[in-house]
Amino acid sequence: MMDRNEISQTSRSDNLMWGQPITAIQLDSSKIDAWFDEFIDTETLCTEEFEFSKCKTSNGVDKNYTIDYRVPMDIVYDEFSLFINDLGPKMQMSSAFEVPWINVYEKNGFQDAHDHQGTRNADFSWCYIHKAGDSHIVFKNRNATNSDNCLKEYFDAYEAHMDFVPELTGKGTLYIFPSAVLHAVSPNKSDSPRITISGNVRVLPQEGGRPAESPLTAE
């Protein structure tokens, strides 16, 4: 893991959309690239498909639980710690990271709107763009109405009320967001695949007072 005084990101955008914090961070991809090339074979790993989507995934595949994800997880943990600190934690927190998974979107591959709360009631989620293809993530306001959808045809202000696409969408981008936020992946228009690494996190309070620094510990 990096020292807390080091900065791994080259650019960052923090947005509060519909009362939800959504962060996009442009990272140096070299360490994850090297790890991926050495340990990941998507042909044999990503053999399942999500319902109502067109993408291959390692989620739910037995082989996925044998993958050593420590290289990307160390990077994600450091950035997640900064994300949590920006939220203004009132006490020391512990984090439980679920085993990540990999998605592959070939040409025209997409993912329908969904969230990541699932049966384990995750609090936060993350998604890292290993290869971008010609596709992007779209965050969606689950409280938007049909009237809002009509009004976006007349007013620019209503565009962001319905859907939000972060400025950072390319290779090396890490997104961190609440698991309850709906999001989708647009169809990949490229012959080159879009490949992502994603995961979920639960946070739990620990006994003690308000932290001065480093409010997050890993379980």
The CA-based dihedral angle spanning residues 85, 78, 16, 104, taken in that order and rounded to the nearest 10 degrees: -160
CATH class of this structure's domain 12-175+185-204: mainly beta
DSSP alpha helix (H) spans, 40-144: 42-45, 70-86
Residue 93 pLDDT: 87
Residue 129 pLDDT: 98
Residue 9 pLDDT: 42
Nearest alpha carbon to residue 50 among 66, 36, 61, 64: 61
Classify 176 as helix, strand or coil: strand
Residue 158 pLDDT: 84
Q: Residues 6 or more apart from 150 whose CB is under 8 A from it? A: none
Residue 218 pLDDT: 64
Count other Cβ atoms within 10 Å, centred on residue 105: 26
Any idea what DSSP says for residue 185?
E
What are the CA-CA distances from residue 152 to residues 51, 90, 161, 166, 183 (Å)?
29, 38, 8, 18, 19
Task: Tell me which residues of the chain have a pLDDT lower than 70.
Answer: 1-10, 207-219
- Which pLDDT tens digit goes with each residue over 6-32? 334 458 888 888 889 999 999 999 999
Residue 161 pLDDT: 83
- Which pLDDT tens digit goes with each residue over 188-213? 999 999 999 999 999 988 866 555 45
Residue 38 pLDDT: 98
Residue 208 pLDDT: 62
Count other Cβ atoms within 10 Å, centred on residue 34: 11
Strand order across the 182-185 sheet: 53-54, 110-114, 182-185, 137-140, 163-164
